[in-house]
Amino acid sequence: MQTKIVGTVLPVLEVELAAGESVIGAPEQLSWIAGGVALHTSGSAGGSGGLFGMVSRAVSGGGIVMTEMRAENGPGSLGFAAHLPGEIVELDVGRSAYIVHRHGFLCGSPGIQLSGALQQNLGAGLFGGEGFVLQKIAGEGKAFVELGGEIVKYDLAAGQSIHVHPGHVGLFDEGVGFEMTTMRGIRSTFFATGDLFMAKLTGPGRVWLQTMTVPGLAHAISHYLPKQG
């Protein structure tokens, strides 16, 4: 399998498969396909534990259907385009696993396992009523994730912490500690209760923060959209 990330603001991941090679991913992430590639749907979340993997992905909001894209009739190619301005990150998964935001996983090699890591309701306004969801990327092989806007990386030492708005949590090493905290007395469009939810990330390990969030983008352009009624 040969891969190439093309573009800057709205990148696309191009995957070249030799005959017999395959890649797994969510079907809604696939942008185009060429050559002898055939698609096979699977509920095993890329081999992530059979029924348990299906349930954990369903609970995490990620759905239970994954697709194996295999070059059965000769070589072929696929394209996975970013949905928002941002970056596509390549991960070597093996000794350690990664935690990514709910829409981050694009695709991976057949040895990649995807399952739910966390689901928490942070109020209807923050994530459109869907709640805050993280997914775990484990197994062994290559994985590709999409992060929004610019990426800011922090390598946290043991015991070192950073507080982050949940929407800006893009990706982090599994060994990084994670907990939700609140700051009192703050009111905004997203937090009518007066509580500001923050994610506390504690090292050791690397975190990737994303500068663009879908709720933030929707709020920024909402004033320019036609009003219903």
pLDDT digits (tens, 9 = 90+) for 92-120: 999 889 999 988 999 999 999 988 887 66
pLDDT digits (tens, 9 = 90+) for 4-24: 999 999 999 999 999 999 999
* Neighbour-count burial of 185, counting CB atoms closer than 10 A to its CB (0-12 exposed, 13-18 middle, 19+ buried): exposed
pLDDT digits (tens, 9 = 90+) for 70-94: 999 899 999 999 988 999 999 999 9
Q: How many domains does the chain have?
A: 1
- Whether residue 229 lies inside any domain: the answer is no
User: For the chain, what percent of residues have pLDDT higher than 90?
Assistant: 55
Rounded to whole angstroms, the Cα distance separating 108 from 15 reads 10
Per the model's pLDDT, the better-predicted residue between 88 and 196 turns out to be 88
- Whether residue 186 lies inside any domain: the answer is yes
- Whether residue 197 lies inside any domain: the answer is yes
Residues contacting residue 95 through CB under 8 Å, at least 6 positions apart: none
Closest by Cα among 79, 80, 78, 76 to 35: 76
Q: Which domain holds residue 61?
A: 2-224
Rounded to whole angstroms, the Cα distance separating 47 from 44 reads 5
- Whether residue 198 lies inside any domain: the answer is yes
Range list of H helices, the chain: 50-59, 214-221
Domain holding 100: CATH number?
A: 3.60.160.10
Q: What is the dihedral of CA 145, 148, 150, 154, to 10 degrees?
A: -60
